[in-house]
Amino acid sequence: MSNEVDIITIEHTLRNIFEKEHIRSIDVTIANKLFAKWMVLTAYMPKDIVRERQSILDDEPSYQSRKR
């Protein structure tokens, strides 16, 4: 299967799971696995995740040390 077919199949399955009146714990487990696979296939990157953290250890402190 191509990636596009896999993506469409996963999206269809996820919609079917969430349209149920009662969602079982097994459905949640399956949905989580499918959603993780969907994220890989679509190269989805959430916008609220910080990609690069600034190191506070390498920066100079904001105060000045006094030499005696």
Please report whether residue 63 resides in a domain.
no
54, part of any domain = no
Residue 67 covered by a domain: no
Asked if residue 24 belongs to a domain, the reply is yes
Domain of residue 24 covers 3-42
Is 14's pLDDT higher than 80? yes
Q: Is residue 49 in some structural domain?
A: no
pLDDT digits (tens, 9 = 90+) for 20-46: 999 999 999 999 999 999 999 998 877
- What average pLDDT does the chain have? 83
Say if residue 67's pLDDT is above 80.
Answer: no
Q: What is the pLDDT of residue 19?
A: 94
In this prediction, residues 3-17 reach a mean pLDDT of: 94
* The predicted structure's pLDDT at residue 12: 96
Is 19 inside a domain boundary? yes
Q: How many domains does the chain have?
A: 1
- Range 8-17, long-range pairs (CB < 8 A, 24+ positions): 10/34, 10/35, 10/37, 10/38, 10/41, 11/38, 14/38
